[in-house]
Chains A and B, each alone.
Chain A
Amino acid sequence: MAHIFFDHISTTPLDPRVFEEMKPYFLEWYGNPSSHIHDQGQAALKAVDAARTRVAGLIHARPQEIVFTSGATEANNLAIKGAAEAYEKRGRHIVVSEVEHFSVMNALLPLRNRGYEVTPLKVDSDGKADPEDVRRAIRPDTILVSVMHANSEIGTIEPVAEIGRIAREREVLFHTDATASAGHIPLDVEAAGADLVTLSAHNFYGPKGVGALYVREGVRLASQIDGGFQERGFRAGTENVPGIAGMGAAAAIAKEEMAPWAGKLRRLGKRLWDGIGATVSHLHFTGHPVDRLPGHVSFWVEYAEGESLLLFLNVHGVMAASGSACSSNLRGRDEEDLVASPVLRAIGVPSDICTGSITFSLGKGNTEEEVDSVLRVLPVIAKRLWEMSPTYLDYQKQKVQGGG
C-alpha cells in the first residue's frame, strides 16, 4: 500500500545525516557536559557548543543566545512565564494573538490566575494579525507581545518584522513561536526584532525531545525548572547531548538546503492546491493564499467531517492532519475535550464547518506522484462521505427544488 506522509507539520522524519551526527553521543561519547574536566565531559561539552553555534546560525543569532530545552512546548513556557515573572515589577499585561499554539495559550492560564491581564489579538479571515492592532493593544504596563511566525494549522505567515518593530519602539519584549517555520523559511532575529524565539528540532528533520529558545542578550527570564546552572541558569538539568547534536546538525543542513526545499515544496504545494481546487467541489481553502508555509495546503469541505476524511485518507495510505473537533482530541479524557479548532473559529469559519478542516503539509521527501495520488483519492472520498451525509442530501434537494 502507498505510504504518503503529508503531515510534516506534526513532525518530520529524521534526516539520516542528522542521525549519523547523533550516533557517537549514545555509546562512544556519553559524558556529561558539566563534567568537562575529563575527556568524556569535554567531548559532550564540545558537541553542545558546536550545536549552539549551528542553531544560532539558522536564525542569525549569537551562540550564547541559544538556550536548549526539551522542545517547543518547554521553550514557549519558558518564554511566556519566564518573561512575565522576570518583568513583573514593570507590568502585568501581555498581548497574544488568538491563533497561538496551546503551549502559549495554556502557559498564560496560571498567569491570569495570578492577576496578569492578557489582550487577545484578532486575526483576519486569512489568519493574519494586524501590526496596527498590536500598537493599539500595547499599554504602559505591557511587558510582552507574542505572535507566532507561522501557523501550523492554516499555514499563514504573520507579519513579525512589523510587529517586532512596534514592540521595540514601545520597549516591550517580542516573542515569536517559530516552531512551524524555522528551517523552512528564513528567520532573522534582527530583522524580526525578536527578543525570544521558539524552535523545535523535529519540525525541521531533527530529533524529537529537543528544542531551543533564543533569548536576546540582556533579556531576563525566570527559570521554570529549578536545579543546577546549565544553559546559563535559564534551564536546569543535564543536557540531552545526542538530541542537541542532532538539532545542530539539522539546523546546519536546513540553513544550506532551505531554499531548494522551499522551491520544491512551493511547486508541489501549488500542484496540490490547484488540483484539489479543480476536482473537489464545496471546498474552501484556509489561510493566506500567498503568505503561507511552502508545501502547506489547508482547507475544509462542506458536508464532510474532518476525522472521516482523515480515516479514509489513511486507508488509502495518505497521512494528514485535521483541525477537526473530533480527531484532534481523540485521545482526550472526556467529551469536554471536544472543542472546535480555536484557529478556525478565529478566522471566522462557521462552527458547523469547523469540524471539516484538513491540513496537508508536505516535506522535502514528497514527490509529484504522491501529490497526484492524493488528487485521485480525495474527490472519491469526499463523494463517499457526501452520499452518507444528511446535510448534503438536503442541499441537493434544495438545489432541485430551486431549479438550480
Chain B
Amino acid sequence: MAGPYSAKVMDHFMNPRNVGEIENADGVGEVGNPACGDMMRLYVKVEEGRISDAKFRTFGCGAAIASSSMLTEMIKGKTVDEARAITNRHVADALDGLPPVKIHCSVMAEEAVKAALDDYARKHPG
C-alpha cells in the first residue's frame, strides 16, 4: 500500500540510491535543520566539469529521503551548469508528484545541490 505517496516515492524511500558519503568530495552541501524536521547533506565529485558521483545522507520524512535519492540520480552525469538548473519542480515531477504539504522536501533537494556546487566553486576557483 502506497499510503499518501506515489509508488515512485515509496520506491526511493525504501531503496534509496546513493546513500553515503564521498571521501574528499569536491563539493559538500548541507541544508535544512533537524528542528524543522529534515536535514540533507549532499556530496559531489566533479570531473571535467561533470558530476561523476553523488551521495547523500538525510534525516527526514519519506518525501525528504525520496527527494534526496532522486536528486542524486538526476545530477549524476550532468554538467555543473545543468545541475544548477534543476529545480524542486523537476525533482517532484520525477517522483510522480508530492503531497502539497511535502513540496518543501523537494525544495531542500534543490537547495542542497546549489549549496554543494557553491562549495565546489569555492574550492575550485576559476
Contact = CB atoms under 8 A, between A and B. Distances in A.
Interface of A: 303-308, 311, 314-315, 324-327, 329-335, 337-338, 340, 351-353, 355, 387-393
Which of A324, A330, A353 has the most chain B CB atoms inside 10 A of its CB? A330
A388 B61 contact: no
B38 to A, nearest CB: 7
Interface string B9-43: 01001101001010000000010011111111100
Contacts of A355: 34, 37
5 contacts: A304-B59, A305-B59, A337-B101, A392-B59, A393-B57
Tell me whether chain B's interface is mostly helix, strand or loop, or mixed.
Answer: mixed
Contact of B38 (A305, A353, A387): A305
B99 to A, nearest CB: 6
A392 B21 CA distance: 13
Contacts of A334: 100-101
Contacts, number: 87
Which of B13, B21, B40 has the most chain A CB atoms inside 10 A of its CB? B13
Contact of B62 (A307, A331, A335, A352): A307
Nearest to B63: A326
Contacts of B16: 388
A352 B1 contact: no
A305 B60 contact: yes
B101 A311 contact: no
Given A308-B13, A311-B13, A340-B37, 12 more contacts: A305-B61, A305-B64, A307-B61, A314-B1, A329-B101, A330-B101, A334-B100, A388-B19, A388-B65, A389-B59, A390-B40, A390-B41
Contact of A352 (B21, B33, B99, B101): B33
